[in-house]
Structure 1
Amino acid sequence: MRIYKVGGAVRDRLLGKPVTDIDWVVVGATTEEMLAKGFRPVGADFPVFLHPKSGEEYALARTERKSGRGYGGFTFHASPEVTLEEDLIRRDLTINAMAEDDQQNLTDPYHGQRDLEARLLRHVSPAFAEDPLRVLRVARFAARYATLGFTVAPETLALMRQLSESGELEALTPERSWKEISRALMEDQPQVFLEVLRACGALKVLMPEVDALFGVPQPPAHHPEIDTGAHTLSVLQQAALHKQPLTVRWACLLHDLGKGLTPEDEWPRHIAHEFKGLKLIKAVNERFKVPKDCQELALLVGEYHTHGHRALELKPSTLLELLQSFDIYRRPQRFEEFIAACEMDARGRKGLEERSYPQADYLRGAATAARSVAVQPLLEKGFKGPELGEEIKRERLKALKAYKEATSV
């Protein structure tokens, strides 16, 4: 029995990055031997065990062969005869196909260290094209390591294009796709994830609504970058730069989908794109079974982001409707995330990344004014039921009028 550290832990150590999760592969062992040493089995499809003390995952060396469609369409074979090199060749990228023993002696049969130095994301073998999930994984690694200068090798991009055209991407489950998408959006350069997917034709398959934004012009007076797709990538980049949570990043990605529906003879204007985009946002949310908080914020940002930009001009009654739509009294954090998404949208314009966004503080102040209306005095005056609701609304409107007058002096 020989035990090796494999994959990301080896890669990140060689890159000088912090190592968090460690994967281990065991060569020359049987399931019975692992159980005898106190390891606990967890793998349903292939033998993976938890270490009796550390709880880390140890997998028996295995080979695999394609037996069906999609991410799960593989048959695995694990036995003491499977070599370390045979185990490593089934991995996706050369930089993930390295192993080291307890003395840090490197086993690198597919030149992962060379590709680390060349800053290349390169597939290990032609079997790469058997697993459609790898298209998303490589794009995610590109987003993670873009700041270090990594790019996708041309021959790997060609295989990703082949996978995108094969129909295999449609076999991915929503859960697996969302796991990769959500992780990619939380990387330092999430826009690179979209750029790589677009370069290999996968964006058109997975998110045609986003792909359709490229080549669609916007008014240069408001959008110096002009192209709606380029703007979307910039907004996402700003969201990462400002350390926004996943909910905000997802909303930033989808906020302008309606512009992809504008007839060409109406370009570069996009009248009512906020409402036109809602059905597209819903479709993307449903396709990937997106978590509820991400779904809700994306729809609200899609519908109301232009309200956010025009906050200083809104009538008190419109401002009240906006605040009510977000249920700011019970869900204050959601409104804060809306403000953040609007600010990222404003900053995601060429040359305007550093421009101040006074709408943010104005909206926060409006929310505070509306929340300051106390309900108890109205109850003491005898208001109840629907009448109480209407009176609360009147008092909040009065508070917002006073707020607008006070801030416009």
Structure 2
Amino acid sequence: MQIYLVGGAVRDALLTRELGWPAPASADRDWVVVGATPEAMAAQGFVPVGRDFPVFLHPQTREEYALARTERKTAPGYHGFAFHAAAGVTLEDDLARRDLTVNAMAVAAEHADHPADAPLIDPWGGLADLRTRTLRHVTPAFAEDPVRILRVARFMARWDGFHIAPETLALMRDMVAHGEAHHLVAERVWQEIARGLMEPHPSRLIAALDACGLLEAWGLAALRRAALTPSLERQAAFAHAPLAVRWTWLVAALPDAPALRALADRWRVPNEARDLSLLLQREAMALRQAGSADAATVLGLFDRCDAWRKPARFAALLQALDGLALADADGGTAVHAATARLGQALQRLQALDAAAITRAALADGLSGPEVGERLHSARLAALQAALGLPG
């Protein structure tokens, strides 16, 4: 039995050594076991967990160890594979089924703590491609799994300066042209898109999906105009933008609310992201004009956006608008002034003791809508006084 550390942990260690990139704060380690059987693994205390192929949990670390395996395409889509794991499957056989050469490198387990300094097992030239910042498929079997298109796009979003090898891009285009990408499951599409959006350069995710023809095939050519741009990615606040905001930047170019809803339903987008994008589309003009609006108009905006109950969502709404406004002629200066004022206004109004105002209204004999009117009047007065807005 031989055990090897493979995939991302080896790649990332070499990225640090070769390109000087910082090591990930934490990373999962993938292990491959060669020359073993399920019975031999169980005898050493490993706990089986895999359903489709033999994967085991280490008895102490609980990390996953997979028996070396090969795979064979049996049906369309990324579920359509048959796996073969046996003691005779070699490490090279296992590495050959991986997506990219930079992910098809390994080191022996005894060197796992320092993989960058270990003898490298690299049958597919992953180190050379890493040095030239090239994403290249390992074998033509890449075309059998449409998820790999999305993974390549996600890696492009992660690693600025990398490029897709021409032959790999041609293979991706061929996969799209032959309809293989239509077999992608919605949840898996969202998983990869969401992960790509949270990478440092999501504009490169969209560019890669466009380059292989996937945006066109999905009927999403409008996403080429996404607000996710290198200029936005250079802003200091960008790194802290949550997924819902980044999703809103991605889909802001879609024409209307039905298109936003249709895409969100199609990819099973979480409600938080879907609702933020719809809210921004509906209120974008009102938000842009809020810098010169009177107090009653601003208060109405807060009410429509449910800012009292969902202040974090309202803050995300302002952040999303700020990002979109970078494309304005003034670079977003006017919009940023408006959003800053709205944020300040909401903070001031949240400082009001709504419960005390309600109790006082009830003590005065008010009820129902009258209590709401009392609270509305108090908020309006506070807004006028605090920010000097006209009524």
Q: Structures share a fold, TM > 0.5?
A: yes
Q: State how far apart, in whole Å, the 2-side matches of 1:230 and 1:252 are.
A: 6
2:130 to 93, 97, 116: 116
- Which amino acid in structure 2 is aligned with residue 89 of structure 1? A
Alignment of 1:257 with 2:254, yes or no, is yes
- Which amino acid in structure 2 is aligned with residue 246 of structure 1? L
Alignment of 1:386 with 2:369, yes or no, is yes
- CA 1:213–1:42 in structure 2 vs 1: closer, same or farther (change >3 Å)? closer
2:119 to 90, 93, 105: 105
Q: State how far apart, in whole Å, the 1-side matches of 2:125 and 2:223 are.
A: 39
Shift of 1:292: 1.6
Aligned equivalent of 2:170: 158
Q: State how far apart, in whole Å, the 1-side matches of 2:127 and 2:276 are.
A: 42
Q: State the superposition RMSD in angstroms.
A: 2.2
C-alpha contact 2:227 2:323 (8 A) present in aligned 1: no
The residue matched to 2:206 in structure 1 has which SS? helix
Q: State how far apart, in whole Å, the 2-side matches of 1:71 and 1:321 are.
A: 49
- Which amino acid in structure 2 is aligned with residue 115 of structure 1? D
Shift of 1:171: 1.2
Alignment of 1:15 with 2:33, yes or no, is no
- State the identity as a percent: 46
The residue matched to 1:107 in structure 2 has which SS? coil
C-alpha contact 2:228 2:246 (8 A) present in aligned 1: no
Shift of 1:49: 0.9
Shift of 1:354: 7.8
2:289 to 310, 321, 324: 310
The total of aligned residue pairs comes to 371
Provide the TM-score with structure 2 as the length reference: 0.89
Shift of 1:351: 7.7
The residue matched to 1:212 in structure 2 has which SS? helix
Aligned equivalent of 2:19: none
Structure 1 unaligned regions, length at least 5: 215-228, 259-276
Aligned equivalent of 1:201: 213
C-alpha contact 1:9 1:22 (8 A) present in aligned 2: yes
Q: State how far apart, in whole Å, the 2-side matches of 1:353 and 1:116 are.
A: 38
Q: State how far apart, in whole Å, the 2-side matches of 1:107 and 1:141 are.
A: 22
Matches within 5 A, 1:210-289: 211-212=221-222, 214=224, 229=225, 231-233=227-229, 237=233, 241-258=238-255, 277-289=256-268
C-alpha contact 1:235 1:344 (8 A) present in aligned 2: no
- CA 1:6–1:354 in structure 2 vs 1: closer, same or farther (change >3 Å)? farther
Shift of 1:331: 1.3
Alignment of 1:367 with 2:346, yes or no, is yes
C-alpha contact 1:238 1:348 (8 A) present in aligned 2: no
- Which deviates more, 1-10 or 296-305? 296-305
- CA 1:236–1:361 in structure 2 vs 1: closer, same or farther (change >3 Å)? closer
The residue matched to 1:77 in structure 2 has which SS? strand
Structure 2 unaligned regions, length at least 5: 17-21, 112-117
- CA 1:354–1:21 in structure 2 vs 1: closer, same or farther (change >3 Å)? farther
The residue matched to 2:192 in structure 1 has which SS? helix
- Which deviates more, 12-21 or 80-89? 12-21
C-alpha contact 1:26 1:59 (8 A) present in aligned 2: yes
